[in-house]
C-alpha cells in the first residue's frame, strides 16, 4: 500500500511538473494585431493594411532632417530591393515634413518603398504600441506575415540588424497541433 501511494505521488508530481511547464505556452499572449491604416503615398498610390495582408512589413517613422534616419535609409533601400519579391516592404512615414522637402529627399535617396506623410491618426494608431508613444525618430514597427506587431524599435539599425529582423518577420508562424 505504501509503495502504491509513493508511486501515485510520483505520477502526480510528474504530471504537475509537465502541466506547469506547458502552461506558459498554453497561456502565452500573442503579439498585438497591427493597426488598420490607409494612406496615400507620395507617388499617389494607396498604401494600407488591407493591401499588406499576408506580407511582412516595417513601418518606419522618420524625417529627412534627422541624422540617424538619414544614416539608415540606404540600407533600407537595399533591403527593400532584395526582399520585395519575397513579400516584404518598408513603409516610410515622414514626420514633421513638407511635401516638397520629402519629395526631393525620396528622389535624392532613390527610396524604392512607399513613403506617406504622417498625420495624427497614423501616429496615434501606431504610437499606442510604443511606450509613451512615438517620441523618438526613427521608430519602426515590425509586422510579421500574420499581421502582428512583433517588435517596436526606437533608434536606427544597421543593415545586418534589419536583415535579421526582416528574415524573422518573413518566417511563417508555426501552427499549434
The whole-number pLDDT of residue 173 equals 63
The whole-number pLDDT of residue 30 equals 76
Q: Which residues in the chain come in under a pLDDT of 50?
A: 2, 4-26, 176-177
Query: How many Å apart are CA 47 and CA 77, to the nearest integer?
Result: 17
- pTM for this prediction: 0.81
Tell the burial category of 75 from Cβ atoms under 10 Å away from its Cβ (0-12, 13-18, 19+). Answer: middle
Q: Among residues 106, 126, 128, which one has the least CA distance to residue 59?
A: 126
Q: Among residues 73, 51, 77, which one has the least CA distance to residue 64?
A: 73
Query: How many Å apart are CA 81 and CA 83, to the nearest integer?
Result: 6
pLDDT in tens, 77-90: 999 999 999 999 99
The whole-number pLDDT of residue 108 equals 97
CATH number of 38-170: 3.40.30.10
Amino acid at each position: 500500500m505504501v509503495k502504491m501511494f509513493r508511486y501515485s505521488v510520483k505520477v502526480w508530481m510528474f504530471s504537475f511538473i509537465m502541466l506547469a511547464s506547458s502552461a506558459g505556452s498554453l497561456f502565452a499572449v500573442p503579439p498585438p494585431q497591427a493597426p488598420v491604416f490607409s494612406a496615400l503615398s507620395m507617388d499617389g498610390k494607396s498604401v494600407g493594411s488591407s493591401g499588406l495582408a499576408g506580407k511582412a512589413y516595417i513601418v518606419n517613422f522618420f524625417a529627412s532632417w534627422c541624422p540617424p534616419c538619414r544614416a539608415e535609409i540606404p540600407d533600407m533601400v537595399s533591403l527593400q530591393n532584395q526582399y520585395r519579391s519575397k513579400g516584404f516592404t518598408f513603409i516610410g512615414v515622414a514626420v514633421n515634413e513638407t511635401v516638397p522637402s520629402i519629395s526631393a529627399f525620396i528622389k535624392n535617396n532613390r527610396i524604392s518603398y512607399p513613403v506617406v506623410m504622417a498625420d495624427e491618426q497614423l501616429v496615434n494608431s501606431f504610437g499606442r504600441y510604443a511606450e509613451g508613444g512615438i517620441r523618438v525618430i526613427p521608430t519602426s514597427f515590425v509586422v510579421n506575415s500574420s499581421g502582428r506587431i512583433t517588435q517596436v524599435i526606437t533608434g536606427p539599425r544597421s543593415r545586418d540588424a534589419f536583415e535579421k529582423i526582416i528574415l524573422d518577420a518573413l518566417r511563417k508562424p508555426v501552427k499549434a497541433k
